[in-house]
Amino acid sequence: ILRFIGFFLGIWLSPVLNDRLGRKKGLLIGNSANFIAAIIQFLGVWLDLPILLIIGRFIASVMTAVAFQAVVLYLQESPPTSMRGAASYCSEVVFAAMCVVGMMLGTDQLLGNDLPWLLAVNIFPCAVAILIVLLIPETPKFLLIRKNDRQSAEAAIRFHHGRDVDVGSVVEELLHEADEESNEANSFKDILVIAKEPHLRKVVMLGACAMQLTVSFWGAIYNSTQFMMDLNCSNFVATWSSTFMATIYFIGTMIGSQLIDRLGRRTLLLPCSAVSILCWSSFALSFYLQKTNDNWKYMGIAALTVFGFLCGCGINAIAWFIPAELAPQRYRSLIQSVCYTMNTIVVVIFTFTLLPMYMSSVGPATFLILYCAPSLVSLVILIWKLPETKGRPTHEIQQELKNSSGSLSSMKDDIVFPMKF
């Protein structure tokens, strides 16, 4: 529960840091705090001081939310439009890889019985992350639109897009996303604007629906060992099920990163989500069929495996970055926080409801109630309302959202406000 509380607080600290200081500084602060938290946790276990472990865990949960939101914003705002999807997949690829490494190191054969050194491993990737962030510039969009610093923005464009890029055309495209309020200080009063403007409410709705499709992933990762044992799988299969699923998930992220800018967001997200609902339905069914014939357990194993691949290939990464891709610059971080808050609340409720329902008379039908039904509703909304964003600049996406939602501000879209440098 401490992790969820800390993550929730970090979600709302993120707009303060990432909008006022910048994406790079927000990421640097998050990574630096996680580095300190990793050392504190190691010392807490090594010195047998539980209070240090608790403090370290809390700091890590808060600043992980800050760093995660910062890196999503950074990867959305830095690359060329044609590579925005593949770049945004990078964080999911690394996350999946670290899940695999962490689960493998946590086994008894490696560091599972040596907790101090298992926690010490966390220090090194945090240190590397700090060094990498120090070497990269701020995002061109933040520098140009928020800071009015054209010179630094042009240098950042050359860094991220290559030295042969036509800087002037990139700057012109970015200016289309600017409005007369983009370089004003953000405040939490902007939530009222988000609630008022139909196209901004629509972004929140679509982001929340996309993230709803990821909720079942956490149930699978956290409880797959329990589920496999209940399916009468061997102890080896049950013990390694989470690691195997994480490995399949990692493979899926690698493949998805190569497909996202070729096929588009809708083409990956919607079919993968539909099949994932079928996977959970098949998984639930396998529990009932296994009682008649033990071989039906393999259908459950296959369903969970395919589900892990689909999450990596076409669900999780897109769901995490789609709110930022749909939102205008001024409200991007705040809308991201609103969507992440809604998702975190749902994840907490479902996580603490899953096992009590599953172990009650409801049984495996719990998967249909908690995962399939909400995901199906979200999927229908996304099929109906989600615009394709592949290869499209943000101002075009905004125009479509405003036109389709009847926003009062749509009449101002043809105006590009001049910016002074």
> DSSP string of 64-126?
HHHHHHHHHHHHHHSS-GGGHHHHHHHHHHHHHHHHHHHHHHTSTTTTTT-HHHHHHTTHHHH
Domains of the chain by start residue, with CATH = 1-137 (1.20.1250.20), 190-410 (1.20.1250.20)
Helix, strand or coil, per DSSP, at residue 233: coil
pLDDT, residue 177, reads 77
pLDDT above 70 (res 390)? yes
Minimal CA–CA distance to 8: which of 274, 243, 315, 347?
A: 347
Q: What is the pLDDT of residue 417?
A: 39
Query: What is this structure's pTM?
Result: 0.90
Evaluate whether 41 touches 30 at the Cβ level (below 8 Å). Answer: no
Q: Could you read off the pLDDT of 309-355 as tens digits, one per residue?
A: 999 999 999 999 999 999 998 899 999 999 999 999 999 999 899 99
What separation in angstroms does the CA of 121 have from each of 95, 118, 126?
15, 6, 9
The DSSP symbol for 412 reads G
Report the alpha-carbon distance of residue 332 to residue 342 in Å, rounded. 16
* pLDDT tops 60 at residue 87: yes
Most confident region among 99-103, 186-190, 277-281 by mean pLDDT: 277-281
What is the predicted pLDDT for the residue at 387?
96
Confidence of residue 410 (pLDDT cuts 50, 70, 90): very low
